[in-house]
Structure 1
Amino acid sequence: MPGDDHFLPLVLINILGTAGIVVWHVQGSGRPTGRLIVQILFFIGMSVVLNAGGIAPHQPDDLHAEGLAAVLSKSARILWWTHLAWTIIGFIHIYVRLNRKPHEAHLILDMAVAGIYLGVALSVMGFVFGLPIATLVTTSGVVALILGLALQNTLGDVFSGIALTLGKAYSIGDWVQLNDGTAGRVTETNWRSTNLLTGLNNIVVLPNSLLAKQSLTSLSRPDESHLLTLGLRFAAGQRPRIIEDAMRSVLETSTRIVKDPPPAVALKAIDAAAIEVELQFRVASLVTGTSAKNEIIDLIHDQCGASGLSLAGPA
């Protein structure tokens, strides 16, 4: 066995593969770039040794059928395929981080990682252990069909989540409102559900399949600013122009609303009892909406006292 031409390369591959696993774990998940460099270096080293030794990882080993050499041959091929999977996954992680969308893309990332591991597992079973891959694929297809029927609701949530992610209907941190009135900020999206943080500081968990069937309004696009309106009724005996100027002064005095685009005062209607006015203004985000409206109401009270304006009773 020591004279075997493949024995030394197999030993080196096992050493490199094991050392790569140790260093990979020492790097930690907080250093993805360092991990990727380690994966590439060890994978290249193992590939060079395989090529120099004339060992093909994609072909069954017919020379070492038993003994220590057989164990070394199988472990070397398993380690090579494992490092191949980790290298590909490392490149995918770096690509996602460079695009700065790790949260939105993690569903697709998980699917890609699962597909890579499945492909490597089938390759190991076929090329290392010589198992019939076609039979394994057929058997796994039957199992997948049974599981699909048993988990059809869960799978519906999974594929709806993937569709929502690919469609980019929203991003983490966006404010959204559903057609049933539910509104909140997207805090998390996973395989099964999407979490919304409402204005009452509650977490609403929405199954992805339910979310995909509803119409959704993004309150954060094209930006976070949001239009608010405030309806008022003034006594009909007052001049509309004076009311308009007074309310415009209120909006110009406010410090909690957005001035670009400028706020507006709309005279909506007039009758024998009242003049209806609507104040239209934008806030930087929905979070500041309540405080901005409170300030506007307080300024209206002061302006009415200073201008001698009288509010009308309810319609």
Structure 2
Amino acid sequence: MTSRLGILRFFWPIFFFSASVAIYIFHEAAFQQFAPGGDPGAVRQLSTAAAYYSGAWLLARLLGAALRRTGNGRRKVPKLLRELITAALFLAATVATVAMLLGQSAGGALASSGLIIAILGFAIRNVLADVLSGIALGLEAPFRIGDWIEIDGTIRGRVIEIGWRTTRLQTRNDTYMILPNSQISRQRMTNYSAPRKHYRASLEIVLGHDIPVSQGKELLAAAAASTEIIMKSPEPDVRALSYDTHGVTFAVRYWVPSFVDDIDCRDVMLVAIDAAIRERGLPPPYSRVKLVAPVPSRSTFEEFLDTGNS
């Protein structure tokens, strides 16, 4: 069934393109045979225009099929890119047809409509900004369908659709978000699915001064390695970040298989670290500040009293 539909997708473009080319090639001979003295100009123009549009149709189908084969199952080629290629091909066919019909006056007709285009562009500048941003996103492909992305540190979701004006995301809470493409292009974006699905995350843990730094690193590393959901290779590691009055701050770094598992990985890491700290019997970190003030000598104190009495 799938192969049959694939053949039908190419049948009609090939049919119309072949028919229009055949009419363009043999229309003069047909006029001489069946309508001598007739003017074949109109047929020539119609067949040429039909060849332009059917050729654009066929080429769009071929390039679309090639792009679908290029995109693998995990990161699909955006639909917007295929639509952009189709629009560009049909625009080229339209320009070629207008140039053929108007001849030398095509440039003048386009120039005279410049003011109207400028007025319309100002009226729909916001929509135009979204469309141009969508075109840029389609060409650069910073993310694809199925990728998990974060926008400006606040919006997170899986890309469902990339349209001309908007991009649609599905959050981890199964809510549906629609964002203008111009907003996405202006803000900082993080793609958690590229170039690979897995990535490294980290937790900051503060331990008190009761345990040496080296033993604290061993304790946290063993707790991280005991979890099941995080990746075993590369192995998790621990780094000391700062030594402060309230304790030593460590960074526990681990690898997440995919963004879908991010919350679960963080949960099991915190549970494992808490269990290891309680098993070791370590007290919670607290601020240790020792106030040191000079104590006046007895002679100085007596002089102060004598001065007051006098």
* TM-score of the aligned structures, taking structure 2 as reference length: 0.72
Of 88, 102, 111, which aligns to 2:59?
A: 88
1:39 has 2:10 as partner:
no
The equivalent residue for 2:26 is: 52
What per-residue deviation string (whole Å, max 9, x for no partner) do you get for residues 109-161 of structure 1? 2432441452365368x28xx99645654555454333223212211211122
Q: Do the aligned partners of residues 95 and 232 (structure 1) sit closer, same or farther apart at CA in structure 2, a change above 3 Å counting?
A: closer
Equivalence for 1:122: 98
Within 5 Å, which residues of 2 pair with 1:103-118?
Answer: 103-116=79-92, 118=94
CA contact (8 A) 2:78 2:138 kept: no
Q: 1:189 aligns with which of 137, 162, 169?
A: 162
RMSD value, Cα? 3.9
Offset at 1:289?
A: 1.3
Post-superposition CA distance 1:210-232 (Å, at most 9, x none):
22222323332322223222222
2:132 is paired with a residue whose SS is helix
- Do 1:236 and 1:271's aligned partners in 2 also have CA atoms closer than 8 Å? no
Structure 1 residue runs of 5 or longer lacking an equivalent are 1-26
Q: What's the TM-score, normalizing by structure 1? A: 0.71
Question: What CA distance in whole angstroms lies between the structure 1 residues aligned with 2:36 and 2:282?
Answer: 99
Tell which deviates more after alignment, 290-299 or 207-216. 207-216
Cα displacement (A) at 1:233? 2.7
Q: In structure 2, what residue type is equivalent to 1:51?
A: I
Q: Is the 8 A contact 1:107 1:165 kept in 2?
A: no
Contact 2:149 2:156 in 1 (8 A): yes
Instruction: Decide whether the 8 Å contact of 1:234 with 1:311 is kept in 2.
Output: yes
Corresponding residue of 1:158: 131
- Which stretches in structure 2 are left out of the alignment for 5+ residues? 72-76, 289-310
Cα deviation 1:235-287 (Å, max 9, x = unaligned): 32234333322222111111111222221122334456533333111211222
Task: Among all aligned residue pairs of Structure 1 and Structure 2, give the percentage whose two residues are the same amino acid.
Answer: 22
- Aligned equivalents of 1:168 and 1:85: distance in 2? 24
- The answer to whether the 8 A contact 2:64-2:82 is kept is no
Number of residue pairs aligned between Structure 1 and Structure 2: 279
The alignment partner of 1:280 has SS state of: strand
The answer on 1:203 being equivalent to 2:157 is no
Please tell me whether residue 268 in structure 1 is matched to residue 241 in structure 2: yes
Q: Deviations over 1:162-181 (max 9, x none)?
A: 12222232222223333353
Bigger Rg over Cα: 2
The equivalences for 1:273-284 within 5 A come to: 273-284=246-257
Q: Secondary structure at the match of 1:242?
A: helix
CA deviation string 1:31-84 (max 9, x = no partner)? 34433244324532453354234269xxxx99547xxx9998887676555534
